[in-house]
Chains A and B, each alone.
Chain A
Amino acid sequence: MDSTLFHYLDYAVYGTAILVMLIGFYGTMVKKSLLKIVISLSVIDSGLNLLIVTIGYYKGGTAPIFSPGFLKNFKDVSKMVDPIPQALVLTAIVIGFGVTAVALALVIRLYRHHGTLNIDEIKNLKW
């Protein structure tokens, strides 16, 4: 019983991550407010990060940290989850933060220039 539940739970985590991403995509494509778009972009990032961490995890794994106690019990090494996705996610989070900061700065400038946050009205450059 335990195992099947975990089995479904595995998928549920994947599903949640993908769902979060889809919500983000929905927001990016449908919401008109610049702020909401920026938030949606962040949401996509979060979903993606969740997904990546999930890929690196497997059932019953431990944190990939070499502690003195860890080395004594060498069998546990094989129980470590893959550390690379976590490292990648850390990088991706930082980058996502940077992009969000730039985007918000631009939103401020757009609001000052156009006096609106509606993306449909910010179309000075076209064709």
Chain B
Amino acid sequence: MIRTVNLQKLFTTEEVETTALNGINMEVQDGEFVAIMGPSGCGKSTLLNILGLLDNPSDGEYHFWDKEVARMSERQRAQLRKGSIGFVFQSFNLIDELTVFENVELPLLYLKVPAAERKVKVEEVLERMNIMHRRNHFPQQLSGGQQQRVAIARAVVAKPNLILADEPTGNLDSTNGEEVMKLLQELNNSGTTLIMVTHSPYDAGFAHRIINLFDGRVVTENIKEQFHV
């Protein structure tokens, strides 16, 4: 599904040039669950943003479903993102003005899914995330764990093939964190490819494979269990 060749990302300011990613070669198979670990500033989030088509690499190749996407324009990337990638953020990033239902509905609106169908899909996913009873609440009225469940619901409602999670448990206590990780695992079990950035070795334990980054390079890859396509 994903293949990068010698991926580079430089951040240039007037005086300094910082190398965030330095020749990343990696591959992710359909249905795989990959965790990316490493100390702060090693380039984890930068890599995730590039993989999520939110950002372009400075150099190298990025094949998304055998399509070279590294040089795509913002508009083309937006088009490709729509419906095929879901995001889960550490700080949830729910829109405060929208209710739980409306937040989850948002990706479907951008995909121009008809209203009746939207309702069915949103309710289904809210049911699955066990948050149906809070459907008319606003994000501020929910606990952190509930907010993250809404965020996951929003990420999966359009049935994307890839979900990118940036420290999904970072703002949660251990109970809620555990719950979220189980949800993600379930999603993966049902066939969704998952790439997750995390600091927590425990969370990483849920993945099939752990990629360790240091100073913008891949240092080790621990294959926890062999993944079969």
Q: Are A and B co-members of a single complex?
A: no
